[in-house]
Structure 1
Amino acid sequence: MVMRTEARVSVSSGQSVVGNKASSHRLTQDQRSHIESASQLLAGGIAGAFSKTCTAPLSRLTILFQVQGMHTNAAALKKPSILHEASRILNEEGLKAFWKGNLVTIAHRLPYSSVNFYTYEHYKKFLYMVTGMENHRESISSNVFVHFVAGGLAGITAASATYPLDLVRTRLAAQTKVIYYTGIWHTLRTISTDEGILGLYKGLGTTLVGVGPSIAISFSAYESLRSYWMSNRPHDSPVVVSLACGSLSGIASSTATFPLDLVRRRKQLEGIGGRAVVYKTGLFGTLKRIIKTEGVRGLYRGILPEYYKVVPGVGICFMTYETLKLYFMDLSSKL
């Protein structure tokens, strides 16, 4: 009887130990999952902010060129000159002016890029699962489809979540001689007072129409190029591969969606300082008016500094993200 009791106690405590180990294992897995999520958010945020800071001068030049035709007679418009405009900014506003609005850019990019990269990874996993393509990851067509859709959904999610900061950034960067907004909070308050709360979302529809395809093309082109490169040259530096593939994907994305981005910028500046509304129609009406007053080339006003910006910018962003993600994964594996 004593032996049986001891045996039961022994078995019971053995089960308890196993149960505790399993519980501990589950807890460890949960912790690793949380660490992985935090790593993706942190890596994405830092990558976006760092990339935007590096290319802020070119980003401001792009915005200034994009809005040139809003309140100016088309006949009076000069041929865009990057050097001339850069010299003007330097002489009239000083060196710091090249980073005008960069603080709000960082404030926008940290959450935007975090949400963008984080949701992209999760949309990708979800799409593989619901479409049954989990076992067909080697298929190029299924991969392109998943990356394209996941990228588009991630871009729309991130843009919707952080839009007011994007609007503030555009308005601060577009200011030249007349300073109407003095900072992030002043801009948010002024827009809310002058244009109502909905004024903070002016141009959101056009933004979502443009940002979905833009991020979709960017991510799908990047993933496809990177996969092709690594399969043919597996020993190349991951940093170099990310930089090169990111730059090429940025060019493809910007070329395809630049007219939509131009309309977005102009919509964001509508009504600034009580000025008259220029574009009273929707997306297609605005595109039609720009073509009529400025020609087809007007849709690509500012594309050159955009290319100069996007090649290093997107490349740096993907490179920084991949590098930080690997670093955080290596760090978490040692915990």
Structure 2
Amino acid sequence: MSGAVTQLKDEGSQRQVALAGAIAGLVSRFVIAPLDVIKIRLQLQTHSRPDPLGVRGTTAPVNKGTLGTLQSILREEGLTGLWKGNIPAEALYLTYGSVQFSAYAYISNLLDALPPPYHLPPSANYFIGGAAAGACATTATYPLDLLRTRFAAQGKDRVYASILASVRHIAEHEGPSGFFRGLGAGVSQIVPYMGLFFASYEGLKPVLASSATMLPFGTSDALAGTIASVVSKTAVYPLDTTRKRLQVQGPMRARYVHGNIPIYKGVLSTVATIWKHEGRRGLYRGLTVSLMKAAPASAVTMWTYERAMALLLALDATWSEK
């Protein structure tokens, strides 16, 4: 096993990996929050022209792409509208980053320890470790993801007065399962996404790092994260749209900024309904801004993770010398 193979999972203790992952998640979320809100609004826009879902007569806005959605939010809700759902999102990214990197390090080390003939090639280890880590992190943080989506879906009129009020309302009217609407789509999406992401990232990182045209300031980490994210996100994007549509189901469905969202039940049924009424475009609505978000988010996440880990290791070494 080469040194490049084990850089992510063996460069620090579990505590250091968790802390570095949490820091990376927080910084990444702060940077891409406005793009995330725009993406969610586009994903929840169910109608296309002509109007197959009967949007006429509703107050649901029709946004034309990323810039149109941005202008609409700024005009109707002000600058703060771009950070709706940021508190649960920050908690989501903080927890998700910590769980994801910790699980990846732990699972990858377990796979590395498999004896022959069960020992897997590095690419398989990366994929399985990334997929399993993504599934663990998604399940553990899903209620926060759902809250993030519901707050980002609110227009000028607030659906929930506060985070606590939203938790109480969901618990009372939808029960515990209400916090996990769309989890099947989330796990179905994240398993191949994180598997492809970590496999691509770990494969690209040593290649870019040893390139003849050395990139400054450790940006090979960021570039590897960007390329890996774009490839992975495009492959699984329809499931991301499906997850968002399912997350806003429930008694408050008609009160979101896109109040014409149909009733969906189940992952396959949702995919089939979107395909039938909106076509392939409906499944990929918001992909452009999603890639605009995913690229810097992954670049910032991996760059920050590597820098945070280096700092933690340096601090640990300093304390050990004392």
Q: Aligned equivalents of 1:277 and 1:265: distance in 2?
A: 11
Residue 21 of structure 2 corresponds to residue 44 of structure 1: yes
What SS does the aligned partner of 1:271 have? Answer: coil
What SS does the aligned partner of 2:45 have? Answer: coil
Measure how far apart 1:45 and its partner are: 0.6
What SS does the aligned partner of 1:168 have? Answer: helix
Aligned residues: 297
- What TM-score, normalized to structure 2? 0.85
Please tell me the residue identity of whatever aligns with 1:190: H
Out of 296, 300, 313, the residue aligned to residue 312 of structure 1 is 296
Moved more, 38-47 or 260-269: 38-47
Measure how far apart 1:235 and its partner are: 5.4
Measure how far apart 1:223 and its partner are: 0.8
Counterparts of 1:87-166 in structure 2 under 5 Å? 87-130=71-114, 132=116, 142-166=121-145
Q: Aligned equivalents of 1:299 and 1:131: distance in 2?
A: 43
Q: Aligned equivalents of 1:132 and 1:323: distance in 2?
A: 35
Please tell me the residue identity of whatever aligns with 2:40: I
Task: Tell me what 1:61 maps to.
Answer: 38
Residue 289 of structure 2 corresponds to residue 328 of structure 1: no
Contact 1:203 1:264 in 2 (8 A): yes
The alignment yields a C-alpha RMSD, in angstroms, of 2.5
Rg larger in structure: 1
Residue 232 of structure 2 corresponds to residue 253 of structure 1: yes
Please tell me the residue identity of whatever aligns with 1:42: L
**Percent sequence identity over aligned pairs:** 33
Contact 2:246 2:264 in 1 (8 A): no
Where relative contact order (Cα < 8 A, 6+ residues apart) is larger, the structure is 2
Structure 1, unpaired ranges of 5+: 1-32
Q: Aligned equivalents of 1:255 and 1:124: distance in 2?
A: 25
Contact 2:63 2:69 in 1 (8 A): no
Aligned in 2, Cα 1:235/1:65: closer, same or farther, shift over 3 Å? closer
Listed one character per residue, the Cα deviations across residues 206-265 of structure 1 (whole Å, up to 9, x for unaligned) are: 111111111111111111110222344495446210111111111011101110000000
Task: Tell me what 2:3 maps to.
Answer: none
Contact 2:131 2:195 in 1 (8 A): yes
Out of 191, 201, 209, the residue aligned to residue 230 of structure 1 is 209
Structure 2, unpaired ranges of 5+: 1-9, 56-60, 255-259
Aligned in 2, Cα 1:260/1:113: closer, same or farther, shift over 3 Å? same
Q: Aligned equivalents of 2:182 and 2:141: distance in 1?
A: 13
More helix per residue: 1
Contact 1:43 1:325 in 2 (8 A): yes
Contact 1:36 1:329 in 2 (8 A): no
Measure how far apart 1:132 and its partner are: 4.4
Aligned in 2, Cα 1:36/1:237: closer, same or farther, shift over 3 Å? farther
Moved more, 309-318 or 232-241: 232-241
Out of 182, 191, 210, the residue aligned to residue 203 of structure 1 is 182
Listed one character per residue, the Cα deviations across residues 135-168 of structure 1 (whole Å, up to 9, x for unaligned) are: x9xxxx9221111100000001111111111111
Q: Aligned equivalents of 1:202 and 1:293: distance in 2?
A: 22
- What TM-score, normalized to structure 1? 0.82
Residue 199 of structure 2 corresponds to residue 220 of structure 1: yes
What SS does the aligned partner of 1:176 have? Answer: coil
Moved more, 146-155 or 90-99: 90-99
Task: Tell me what 2:159 maps to.
Answer: 180
Contact 1:163 1:204 in 2 (8 A): yes
Moved more, 90-99 or 272-281: 272-281
